[in-house]
Amino acid sequence: MRNRRTRLLAAPLLTLLGVLAFAGPAQASGESVGACMADHLEELVDQHDGDLHDVLHDEHVQDELEKCFEAPNPILPETTEIIWGGAAFLILFVVMVKKGFPAVKGAMDARAEKIRSDLDAADQAKADALAVQSDYEARLADAKSEASRLIDEARGAADQVKADLMVRHETEMAEQRERAAAEIESARTQAIADLRAEVTDIALGAAERVVQSSLDAEVQGRLIDAYIDEVAGTNG
């Protein structure tokens, strides 16, 4: 703040020094050698009460006139210029102090305030970003943890399913073996039964034919007698 004020005051001072340093000679302000000599002569005439002759013979006049041929002071401007320049400078300085400096100061303050606000906003944004990052990292950690838990659960479930399938497979295999054994035994039993029935049918068919051919009327009569005796004998 102080540096800014110093810079603001130094600007017009440097301007004044520039004016003084680079002020042109008198002729630079538009006065010619003749005019200079005329002015000096007029002034000297007045000092000698209008006697031009005395003026021309005065030694000092020559020196004064010769001054018109001398180069003006390269540093000091004309007094009027200094006055006008100083007045302008003062006016400008006053205007600058009253109007420009507050405006510049306000702009600078506003700029500084804006920069400070921007910095605060940046800090806040950074803090928010850090908070978001922290929250994101926390969520990421939670997600990783949840994913790990789900993977573990899935792996456990898969292991359980695998074990169940193995048990079921073994059970089914055992049942299939039992069924196959039962079917084989049933088929074997059925085959034996069929074979036995076939042999029985053949044997009994042959026996039936033998009986039919061998049972004549006499034998039939004896069989009926035996039947009658059987009916009578089974009483009680």
Q: Helices 59-69 and 33-47 sit at what angle, rounded to 10 degrees? A: 160
Instruction: Identify whether the C-beta of residue 80 lies closer than 8 Å to the C-beta of residue 31.
Output: no
Quote the least distance from Cβ 184 to other proteins, whole Å: 21
Which one-letter DSSP state was computed for residue 75?
S
Among candidate residues 68, 41, 65, 67, the one with its CA nearest the CA of residue 55:
41
Measured from the CB atom, the residue of 129 and 228 that comes closer to other proteins is 228
CA 158 – CA 56 distance, rounded (Å): 133
**215 is an interface residue for other proteins by CB under 8 A:** yes
**201 is an interface residue for other proteins by CB under 8 A:** yes
Measured from the CB atom, the residue of 1 and 232 that comes closer to other proteins is 232
Binding mask 162-191 for other proteins (x = CB under 8 A): ------------------------------
Quote the least distance from Cβ 236 to other proteins, whole Å: 9
Read out DSSP for 24-74? --TGGGT--HHHHHHHHHHHHHHHTTT-HHHHHH-HHHHHHHHHHHSPPPS
Quote the least distance from Cβ 233 to other proteins, whole Å: 8
Quote the least distance from Cβ 198 to other proteins, whole Å: 11
**195 is an interface residue for other proteins by CB under 8 A:** no
**18 is an interface residue for other proteins by CB under 8 A:** no
Measured from the CB atom, the residue of 183 and 229 that comes closer to other proteins is 229
CA 190 – CA 70 distance, rounded (Å): 159
Return the sign of the alpha-carbon dihedral for residues 218, 224, 227, 233. negative
**227 is an interface residue for other proteins by CB under 8 A:** yes
- Total residues interacting with other proteins, rule: CB under 8 A: 29
**228 is an interface residue for other proteins by CB under 8 A:** yes
Q: The tokens of 157 are what?
A: 């479930």
Residues that bind other proteins (CB under 8 A): 193, 196-197, 199-201, 203-204, 207-208, 211-212, 215, 217, 219-221, 223-232, 234-235
